[in-house]
Amino acid sequence: MLYLLSPCFSNRIRVNKISRSVIVCRFCDHIFLRGSLNFSGLSTQVFDSEVAEIRRASLQSFKRLQVERAARIHLGILLVIFLSIIAAGIYLSRFALLTSQGGLVFGATYIDATVRIFMLWISITAAALAAVLALFWAWKGKLLPFVGAVSLYIVVGFAGAVIPSLIQKLVVSPNELVKETPFIEHNIAATRKGFALDKIEEREISGDKPITSVDISANNLTVKNVRLWDRKPLLSTFSQIQ
């Protein structure tokens, strides 16, 4: 019965002005053929070939489907705005490295200045490129370049999370004192300037005067605050020497 009714279905179904008569007819033929095969006990190879043909016809039909130009332009403009906001946010995030607290000192470190800044610029470029290609897709209807740019942005974002950690472990940590010395000096200079310590008058005091027990007793609090061995830098120094 379905086989006899298949022409009725095929004359009425339309999707985006593209006829789906082939798909419906094939589907009805498939149901009828399946019943016949089950009834007669024939090989299922014929059934599989019919299913493959239906799938191929469906794929070819849906490939011809196109997004309407007005809808594509509207969606493209939204994508451009969204990706532009992402690019602007990444650009502004560069300045947050100046106040980061994840390194050896407060502020930017060797990894921030040499790796993270570079990865952020690549992310900005990828997001901006994706925005331009979204506009190109909205105008020309070619989606593949836009998908490629978005994929590049995702890959760069993943690399930006992994590569700095690897370089920190393999390059910086074995020779951290040498790599971080310029940034430590900048941090000390900024601290001195921030607390106006750079305006203090410096005088040399000779250490020729002998210290007596009376001097130690009179300055007991100061003596107790003197650290002869600080555990944290001591262990780090020993690790680098080894």
What one-character DSSP code corresponds to residue 103?
Answer: S
Integer Rg of the chain from CA: 36
Of 120, 154, 176, the residue at which a domain comes to its end is 176
What pLDDT was estimated at residue 48?
60
Q: Give yes or no: residues 24 and 111 share one domain.
A: no
State the residue range of the domain holding 79.
69-176
Q: Give yes or no: residues 45 and 130 share one domain.
A: no
What pLDDT was estimated at residue 118?
93
Q: Give yes or no: residues 112 and 134 share one domain.
A: yes
What pLDDT was estimated at residue 127?
92
Residue 125 and residue 159 in contact, taking contact as beta carbons nearer than 8 Å: no
Query: Quick one: tokens of 31?
Result: 């149901």
Residues 26 and 4: their CA atoms lie apart, in Å, by 12
What pLDDT was estimated at residue 176?
84
Q: Give yes or no: residues 101 and 152 share one domain.
A: yes
The 10 Å Cβ neighbour count of residue 237 is: 12
Q: Give yes or no: residues 87 and 148 share one domain.
A: yes
Whole-model pTM: value is 0.56
Query: Quick one: tokens of 1?
Result: 């019965």
Place of tokens 């971080």: 180
Of 176, 209, 229, the residue at which a domain comes to its end is 176
Q: Is residue 113, in this structure, part of any structural domain at all?
A: yes
Q: Is residue 166, in this structure, part of any structural domain at all?
A: yes
Helix (H, G, I), strand (E, B) or coil at 102: coil
Q: Is residue 197, in this structure, part of any structural domain at all?
A: no
Helix (H, G, I), strand (E, B) or coil at 3: helix
Residue 94 and residue 117 in contact, taking contact as beta carbons nearer than 8 Å: yes
Q: Give yes or no: residues 57 and 112 share one domain.
A: no
- Number of domains the chain contains: 2
Residues 215 and 223: their CA atoms lie apart, in Å, by 10
What pLDDT was estimated at residue 229?
74
pLDDT along the chain (242 residues), means of 10: 38 40 45 46 54 63 59 87 93 88 81 91 93 87 84 90 90 86 88 86 78 84 78 75 70
Residues 172 and 176: their CA atoms lie apart, in Å, by 5
Residues 57 and 24: their CA atoms lie apart, in Å, by 10
